[in-house]
Amino acid sequence: MKFQPNYAPGPTDVRENVRLTLAKKTSNPDFDKEFIHYYHEVSQKMGKVMGTTNDVLLLAGEGILGLEAACASLTEPGDRVLVLDNGIYGEGFKYFVEMYGGEPVVLSFDDRQGIPVEEVRNYLEKDHHFKYATLVHCDTPTSVLNDVSKLCPLLKEFGILTVVDSVAGMVGEPIDVDQNQIDICCGGTQKAISAPVGLAIVSISEHAKKAMATRQTPIASFYANLRIFEDYVEKQSLPYTMPADQIAALDVALDNILQEGLETVYERHAKIANAVRKAVEAYGLSLFLTSDASNTVTAVSIPAEIGALQLQEHIKEAYNLYIATSLAQYADVILRIGHMGENAFPEKVLAVLTMIDHGLCDLGFKGTGNLGQLFLDAYRMENEY
Ligand SMILES: *Cc1c(COP(=O)(O)O)cnc(C)c1O
């Protein structure tokens, strides 16, 4: 198999010390009681990075498992669930709610900006009979960032539990789970955390635990049932065999982040993202969003006469580089530059922007200057402040 360089908004590059950890021998995660303590330790380290003292679970599965598990564990037949939607993942929550018998009420907003907090407040003043609400921190296909620091406390004010998909946000953008009163916060290892694909991360508040414990009906799943982990430390038993190598790799990836310092990591993402956005605009392309872009990914509108899919295909064929377009209705409209975790370093972003510049030139687009150079100039400015 041929491996292509990867600059997509996830899975991201995995640092060598994390990759090598996967090769190390582990003890048997079912029989070795020390493993339970180790699992708990890594979960708490994850919680530290997420800003929470709530229980954190590391589920054996990709990020999507966390979203489904949150909905499976909270939803009872007939429950009304508020689905805040300004993007593809945002809207997507409705399918999980329906699958477990709930009644999703989808409140849709403009995809080109963050969810307007005051409009949500106005809506809630009229109707707030919801068991929980779902929202996405960074909706990756369009790169929009929602202000969880305002939206989640607002929902809680109305007695509504909050479920946040921060798979593509956490570590690149502050999530501060406790401060923002997030009841269930979902993450994945393969985005800004830059560990291998394979674990879903879920933090669960006391309020959410109580909602699960006081259900009238059983949870209609085993694998997506968050209660099967209850009291695993006291019971000295995890519900199924854990991928010990993945847990160890996540541990090292978290150490990398904590050693650099979370604030420094956020700053690194902000500088790169600002420079990318400035360069794209100076070059003569437009950003898909009108405001509220996440620092983990940039969505660039590609002129219709070229098309994002043609540009992607051309760059793959001509330069052996895989770049991401978007999904669904935006697949041919948006080109995405991923700059999260290990991919948020200037030399990597420079390489991908240079290739995009070549690709666009080949297809007849005349940009102003050189996209890579514009990025370097903007990045230098970022570092002077
Ligand atoms: C990547 C991502 C997930 C995980 O889903 P995959 O499509 O399987 O990678 C979930 N939510 C968001 C917002 C993501 O960006």
Q: Count the helix, strand and coil residues of the chain and give each as a percent rounded to the nearest 5.
A: 45, 15, 40
Q: Is the pLDDT of residue 170 over 70?
A: yes
Task: Pick the atom of ligand 1 nearest to 138's CA.
Answer: 13
| pTM strictly above 0.85 | yes
Tell me which residue has its CA closest to atom 7 in ligand 1: 64
- 385 falls in which pLDDT band (50, 70, 90)? low
Please state which architecture CATH assigns to domain 262-384.
Alpha-Beta Complex (3.90)
Q: Is the pLDDT of residue 134 over 80?
A: yes
Task: Pick the atom of ligand 1 nearest to 168's CA.
Answer: 15
Q: Is the pLDDT of residue 23 over 90?
A: yes
Q: Are 170 and 52 in contact (CB under 8 A)?
A: no
For ligand 1, which residues put their CB under 6 angstroms from it? 10, 62-64, 89, 136, 139-140, 165, 167-168, 188, 191
CA–CA distance, 74 with 210 (Å, rounded to integer): 10
Q: What separation in Å is there between the alpha carbon of 167 and the centre of ligand 1?
A: 6
Q: Is the pLDDT of residue 102 over 80?
A: yes
Question: In the chain, which residue ranges form alpha helices assigned H by DSSP?
Answer: 16-22, 33-50, 64-74, 88-99, 117-126, 148-157, 206-213, 232-235, 244-260, 262-283, 308-319, 346-362, 371-384
Task: Pick the atom of ligand 1 nearest to 89's CA.
Answer: 13
Q: What is the pLDDT of residues 223-258, one digit of tens each?
A: 999 999 999 999 999 999 999 999 999 999 999 999
Task: Supply angle C-alpha 364, 368, 373, rounded to 5.
Answer: 110
Q: What residues does CATH 3.90.1150.10 cover in the chain? A: 262-384
Task: Pick the atom of ligand 1 nearest to 10's CA.
Answer: 1
Pocket test for ligand 1, best of 89, 185, 194, 298 (most atoms within 8 A of CB): 89
The pLDDT value recorded for residue 284 is 98
Q: Is the pLDDT of residue 1 over 90?
A: no
Q: Is the pLDDT of residue 351 over 80?
A: yes
Residue 82 tokens, joined: 């508020």
Mean pLDDT of 51-68: 98
Q: What is the pLDDT of residues 177-224, one digit of tens each?
A: 999 999 999 999 999 999 999 999 999 999 999 999 999 999 999 999
Q: Is the pLDDT of residue 78 over 90?
A: yes
Task: Pick the atom of ligand 1 nearest to 188's CA.
Answer: 4
Q: What residues does CATH 3.40.640.10 cover in the chain? A: 16-259
Q: What separation in Å is there between the alpha carbon of 350 and the centre of ligand 1?
A: 25
The CA distances from residue 8 to 51, 259, 326, 342, in Å, are 27, 25, 10, 11
Q: What separation in Å is there between the alpha carbon of 370 and the centre of ligand 1?
A: 32
Mean pLDDT of 334-351: 97
Give the number of other CB atoms < 10 A from CB of residue 317.
10
Residue 33 tokens, joined: 């009681």
Mean pLDDT of 38-47: 98
Task: Pick the atom of ligand 1 nearest to 197's CA.
Answer: 9
Fold for the domain defined by 16-259? Aspartate Aminotransferase; domain 2 (3.40.640)
Q: What is the pLDDT of residues 283-305, one digit of tens each?
A: 999 999 999 999 999 999 999 99
The pLDDT value recorded for residue 3 is 66
Mean pLDDT of 135-156: 98
Write the DSSP symbol of residue 228.
G
Mean pLDDT of the chain: 97
Mean pLDDT of 7-13: 90
Question: In 188-243, which residue ranges form alpha helices assigned H by DSSP?
Answer: 206-213, 232-235
Pocket test for ligand 1, best of 65, 95, 96, 140 (most atoms within 8 A of CB): 140
Q: What separation in Å is there between the alpha carbon of 64 and the centre of ligand 1?
A: 6
